[in-house]
Amino acid sequence: MFGSQVHTRRRPRAVPVAVDGTIRVRGAVKTYPLPAGEVAAVAGIDLDVDPGEFVAVVGRSGSGKTTLINLLAGIDRATSGQIVVASTAVHGLRESQLAAWRGRTIGLVFQFFQLLPTLTVAENVMIPMDFCATFPVRERRPRALRLLARMGIVEQADKLPSSLSGGQQQRAAIARALANDPPILLADEPTGNLDSHTADTMLSLFRELAAEGKTVVMVTHERDISAYVTRQLTLVDGRVTDDSAARPAVAQPLVRGAR
């Protein structure tokens, strides 16, 4: 089976290294048990996303948008189907592998920022580097400051998140998501708590990152985003009902294992 090729007995804890920002999903299903029976939050999605795409996933509440993002990040497990992200069969990874893989491969941006309140902004940005040891210790703070400078908030580096505005906190959260230079950014309603001007700034930043080659997949309720994204998917009841840059009907073969 596909998943069995991800692991070997000789190296059970090997963590795949991200190769690129390609996403391939085949027949992804995620069901949840309810007293009245199972409900499918994602109901058989096929999806291809290439490096450099900025994809917006839209749909009403309960359409499966966040579940799809969580499946791509390995936060949720698919009930069935194949999910290959950055050349890694995520559906086949063990729990002991997922966190390290995610830390090196995926940058996550959330609606409510999720910055640690007792750490400074710079320390928050350094957390992924500390966890994955992707950069030598002496390089981590300088890198954090460079990322904050790109976000336009380097002067806030040694302040606590509570002293920043919502827009500044979201910029700090994006800097943290970029800390390990992941090939893929997944954002769940990143503009949901921002005013329209700040939201436009965030969308422009995501567009720039995609132009630099990163894959950006964003869940959003925003409708007027065509000026920023390269592609828009609409989900209804866990299925893709519209794709503004539709792929060929014949699915491409998936990779044959994790690296």
15 is a domain residue: no
232 is a domain residue: yes
Q: Is the pLDDT of residue 97 over 70?
A: yes
What's the pLDDT at 198?
A: 87
Residue 207 sits in a domain of what CATH number? 3.40.50.300
55 is a domain residue: yes
pTM of the model: 0.84
**Share above pLDDT 70 across residues of the chain, in percent, rounded to a whole number:** 86
**Share above pLDDT 90 across residues of the chain, in percent, rounded to a whole number:** 68
253 is a domain residue: no
250 is a domain residue: no
Q: Is the pLDDT of residue 4 over 60?
A: no
pLDDT in tens, 162-188: 999 999 999 999 999 999 999 999 999
How many domains does the chain fold into? 1
Q: Which residues constitute the domain of residue 214?
A: 3-8+20-243
What's the pLDDT at 1?
A: 36
Side chain identity at 130, as an amino acid letter? D
What's the pLDDT at 142?
A: 97
76 is a domain residue: yes
Does 144 or 253 have the greater pLDDT score?
144
User: Distance between CA 217 and CA 47 in Å, rounded?
Assistant: 12
107 is a domain residue: yes
Q: Binning pLDDT at 50, 70 and 90, where does residue 19 land?
A: low
Dihedral of alpha carbons 134, 176, 112, 90, sign:
negative
Does 223 or 171 have the greater pLDDT score?
171
170 is a domain residue: yes
Q: Is the pLDDT of residue 153 over 90?
A: yes
